[in-house]
C-alpha cells in the first residue's frame, strides 16, 4: 500500500556534531530521536535507505500489550515482577503513541479497539485460562471472557477479549514523528550508510561516503544491531512472517484485532482500502519460519488464504501479499539499553518479536531516560546484558540451529549452471571450494556474487517472495544484487565476476 516518500535532509555530506546520533529510521529510531528532541537535545538520524524503516514499512501495526509470548510464559522466565513490568511498559507504550498522535496532530488512523485471543478448533482452552490469570497478576485488568470472537460465520468458542488495544497506519505515524523531529531542528539523512560505529566519551559514526558524525551518544536502532558481531546474535533468532491483504465490503467484519494461539499464530486486523471507500482490507499474517530455512513460500500464502476464507467467508480477492522478518528473543523479552561489551554511550534496541510497535516506543522512552540520567524501572528487564536465563532451552535450540547451517558450506548448490535459473530469480551454485549467489535479471544477464555472508560466513539462501538473499544464521538480508538491507552484516555480498 504505497505512501508518498517521507521528507528528509538528503544524504549526509561532511561533518556533523550532535548530542545524539540515531542510526535507523524505523519506529525505534524515530521514537527515540523524537523524545530526545523533545528534551531539547540536538539529534541526527541516519538511514541507508528511505526514511521510515525497513520492517516498520512492512508491519501489520497491531499496537498492543497482548504479547507474542504469553504472560504465563514471561512469568516463568522473568518472574511475576518481570511480567508486571512487561505489561506496564507495553501498556504505557500504547498510551505514549496516543499522546504523540494528539500532541503532534498526526493523521495516522490511530484508534483504540478490542482484541480477541482464541484457540484453534477442537483445542483445549486451558492456555486461555492460564493466560487470563497471568494477565491479572501482571496488572492487565481490561481482559475478560467472551463467548466467541465476533466472526459471524466461524465459531471460535470461548475466547479472551482484551479492551483498549490499538492500531494505526505505521507509515503515516512515522511520517508524523519524522516531521516533528525536523520541526524541532533535528536532522534526518536518508541514503547514509553507517559503516563504522564507535562509542566512548565522544561517539563517532563513519558513513560509507566518508561523512562523519560525532555525538555524545549513538543509538543503533537498525532492528538487529549492526555494531555487534556475536553477543546479541546468540540471544535472538530471525523469523520470516507472511501477510495477505484481502478486500472485504466495508463494515462486513467487526473492527477488532484477532489472534489465535498456535506457534506460529495468525494475526488479523482491518484497515481502509486505498481509493475505495466501500471496501476495507483484511490484513492476515502468520506462517512464520526461521529465515532462510524454508522454500515453500507459495504454499504458505495459499494456507494463509485458506485459513482466512474459512473464518471470514465474505472476503474477496487477495489484493496484497508480502513478508518480512522479526527478531525473536530467546526469553520472550526484547533488548533495549547499553550495548554489552562495548565502550560507553552506545545504546541498542532489538529483539522486538511481533510487538515492535510498542517495543520500539518503549525503546524511545527507555533510551531517552538512560541518556538523560533518569532512573527507569524497566531498565533491568530489557537490559541487553541480562543473565542468566531461568530456562536455557530456547537459547540452546537457537544456537544449535545456527551451528547446523554451517554444513551448507560443504554441500552442493541449488543448481549446477546459471542456465537453470529462470529470469528474475536467483540460486546458489557451487564454485570449487566456495559458493556463489547467482541472479538472472529481467534482461537475462547473470550477476554473480559470493554466497558467503559477510557477517560470520554462513551461506545465504534465495527468497523468491522478496527477491532477496537471506542468511539462515542470524538473519542478514541482501537485495537481488547483493546490497545489504538488514543486519547484522554491514557490508554487501562481494561481486564474483
Ligand X SMILES: Cc1cc2nc3c(=O)[nH]c(=O)nc-3n(C[C@H](O)[C@H](O)[C@H](O)COP(=O)(O)OP(=O)(O)OC[C@H]3O[C@@H](n4cnc5c(N)ncnc54)[C@H](O)[C@@H]3O)c2cc1C
Sites of contact with ligand FES (CB under 6 A): 453, 455-458, 471, 473-476, 488-489
User: Nearest 5 degrees, angle CA 386-CA 348-CA 55?
Assistant: 115
Cell of 415: 543448481
Name the nearest CA neighbour of 487 among 34, 93, 30, 26.
Answer: 26
Closest CB to ligand X belongs to which residue? Answer: 356
- Nearest CA to 63 among 27, 38, 22, 29? 27
> Residue 35: which of ligand X, ligand FES, none does it interact with, CB under 5 to 8 A by kind?
none
Sign of the CA dihedral running 92, 98, 101, 103: negative
CB of 89 closer than 8 Å to CB of 78: no
Nearer to ligand X, 47 or 394 (CB): 47
Q: Verify binding: residue 62, ligand X, rule CB under 6 A.
A: yes
Least distance CB 250 / ligand X (angstroms): 21
351 binds ligand X (CB under 6 A): no
Q: Which does 236 bind (CB under 5 to 8 A by kind): ligand FES, ligand X, none?
A: none
- According to CB under 6 A, which one of 65, 89, 223, 450 is a site residue for ligand X? 223
C-alpha cell at 371: 541518556
CB environment 192-215: b (16+ within 10 A), e (fewer)? bbbeebbbeeebebebeeebebeb
The total of other beta-carbon atoms located within 10 Å of residue 416's CB is 11
| Cβ proximity to ligand X, 271 vs 358, nearer residue | 358
135 touches which of ligand X, ligand FES, none (CB within 5 to 8 A by kind)?
Answer: none
**How many residues bind ligand X, per CB under 6 A?**
42
Query: Residue 59, interface with ligand X (CB under 6 A)?
Result: yes
Given 46, 180, 333, 429, the residue binding ligand X (CB under 6 A): 46
Residues in a beta bridge with 438: 427, 448
> Rule CB under 6 A: which of 180-199 touch ligand X?
193-194
Residue 476 in contact with residue 488, Cβ under 8 Å? yes
Site for ligand X in 326-345 (CB under 6 A): 326
Residues forming a β-bridge with 281: 247, 271
* Cβ at position 168, least distance to ligand FES in Å: 31
Stretch of 27-35, 272-280, 398-406, 429-437 contacting ligand X, by CB under 6 A: 27-35
Helix pair 71-103, 126-138: axis angle to 10 deg:
60
Q: How far is the CB of 405 from ligand FES (least distance, A)?
A: 8
- Smallest distance, Å, CB 255 to ligand X? 15
Cis peptide before 488 (omega within 30 of 0): yes
- 328 bridge partner residues: 237
Show the site string, 294-333: x = touches ligand X by CB under 6 A, - = not: ------------------------------xxx-------
CA geometry: angle 39, 42, 47, nearest 5 deg = 115
User: Which of 462, 465, 497 is CA-nearest to residue 477?
Assistant: 462
Site residues for ligand X, 456-485, by CB under 6 A, read none
State the binding partner of 189 from ligand FES, ligand X, none, CB within 5 to 8 A by kind.
Answer: none
Give the residue from 445, 431, 439 showing the smallest Cα distance to 478. Answer: 439
Tell me how far, at minimum, the Cβ of 423 lies from ligand X, in Å. Answer: 27
Query: Applying CB under 6 A, which part among 216-224, 337-345, 371-379, 403-411 lies near ligand X?
Result: 216-224
Q: How far apart are CA 54 and CA 52, in angstroms?
A: 7
In three-state secondary structure terms, 285 is strand
How near is the Cβ of 54 to ligand FES at its closest, in Å?
Answer: 15
- By a kind-dependent CB cut-off of 5 to 8 A, residue 456 interacts, out of ligand X, ligand FES, none, with ligand FES
Using CB under 6 A, list all residues that contact ligand X. Answer: 23-29, 46-49, 53-56, 58-62, 193-194, 221-223, 226, 241, 243, 267, 285, 324-326, 352, 354-358, 360, 487, 490
Amino acid at each position: 500500500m504505497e505512501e508518498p516518500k517521507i521528507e528528509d535532509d538528503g544524504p549526509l555530506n561532511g561533518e556533523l556534531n550532535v548530542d545524539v546520533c540515531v542510526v535507523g529510521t524505523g519506529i525505534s529510531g524515530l521514537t527515540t530521536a523524537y523524545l530526545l528532541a523533545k528534551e531539547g537535545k540536538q539529534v541526527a538520524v541516519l538511514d541507508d535507505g528511505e526514511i521510515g524503516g525497513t520492517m516498520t514499512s512492512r508491519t501489520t501495526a497491531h499496537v498492543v500489550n497482548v504479547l507474542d509470548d504469553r504472560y504465563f510464559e514471561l512469568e516463568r522466565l522473568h518472574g511475576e515482577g518481570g511480567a508486571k513490568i512487561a505489561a506496564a511498559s507495553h501498556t504505557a507504550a500504547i498510551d505514549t503513541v496516543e499522546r504523540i498522535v494528539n500532541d503532534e496532530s498526526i493523521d495516522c488512523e490511530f484508534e483504540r479497539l478490542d482484541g480477541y485471543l482464541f484457540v484453534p478448533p477442537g483445542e483445549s482452552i486451558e492456555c486461555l485460562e492460564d493466560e487470563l490469570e497471568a494477565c491479572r497478576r501482571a496488572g492487565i485488568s481490561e481482559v475478560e471472557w467472551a463467548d466467541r470472537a465476533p466472526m459471524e460465520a466461524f465459531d471460535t468458542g470461548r475466547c479472551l477479549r482484551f479492551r483498549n488495544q490499538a492500531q494505526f497506519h505505521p507509515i503515516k505515524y512515522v511520517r508524523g514523528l519524522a516531521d516533528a523531529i525536523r520541526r524541532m531542528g533535528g536532522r534526518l539523512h536518508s541514503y547514509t550508510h553507517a559503516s563504522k560505529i564507535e562509542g566512548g566519551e565522544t561517539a563517532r559514526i563513519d558513513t560509507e561516503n566518508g561523512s562523519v558524525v560525532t555525538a555524545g551518544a549513538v543509538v543503533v536502532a537498525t532492528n538487529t544491531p549492526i555494531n555487534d558481531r556475536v553477543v546479541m546474535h546468540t540471544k535472538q533468532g530471525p523469523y520470516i512472517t507472511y501477510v495477505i491483504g484481502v478486500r472485504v465490503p466495508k463494515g462486513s467484519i467487526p473492527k477488532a484485532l484477532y489472534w489465535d494461539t498456535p506457534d506460529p499464530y495468525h494475526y488479523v486486523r482491518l484497515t481502509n482500502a486505498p481509493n475505495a471507500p466501500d471496501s476495507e482490507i483484511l490484513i492476515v499474517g502468520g506462517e512464520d519460519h526461521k529465515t532462510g530455512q524454508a522454500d515453500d513460500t507459495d504454499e504458505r500464502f495459499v494456507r494463509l488464504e485458506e485459513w482466512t476464507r474459512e473464518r471470514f467467508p465474505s472476503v474477496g480477492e487477495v489484493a496484497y501479499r508480502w513478508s518480512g522478518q522479526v527478531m525473536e528473543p530467546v526469553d520472550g523479552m526484547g533488548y533495549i539499553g547499553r550495548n554489552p561489551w562495548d565502550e560507553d554511550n552506545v545504546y541498542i534496541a532489538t529483539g522486538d518479536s511481533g510487538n515492535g510497535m510498542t517495543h520500539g516506543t518503549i525503546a524511545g522512552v527507555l533510551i531517552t531516560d538512560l541518556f538523560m540520567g533518569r532512573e527507569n524501572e524497566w531498565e533491568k528487564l530489557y537490559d541487553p546484558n541480562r543473565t542468566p536465563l531461568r530456562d536455557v532451552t530456547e537459547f540452546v535450540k537457537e544456537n544449535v540451529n545456527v551451528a547446523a547451517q554451517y554444513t551448507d558450506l560443504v554441500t552442493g548448490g541449488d543448481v549446477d549452471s546459471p542456465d537453470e535459473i529462470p529470469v528474475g530469480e536467483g540460486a546458489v551454485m557451487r564454485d570449487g571450494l566456495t559458493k556463489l549467489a547467482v541472479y538472472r535479471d529481467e534482461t537475462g544477464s547473470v550477476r554473480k556474487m559470493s554466497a558467503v555472508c559477510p557477517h560470520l560466513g554462513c551461506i545465504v539462501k534465495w527468497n523468491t517472495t522478496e527477491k532477496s538473499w537471506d542468511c539462515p544464521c542470524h538473519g542478514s538480508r541482501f537485495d537481488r544484487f547483493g546490497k545489504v538491507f538488514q543486519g547484522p552484516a554491514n557490508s554487501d555480498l562481494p561481486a564474483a565476476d
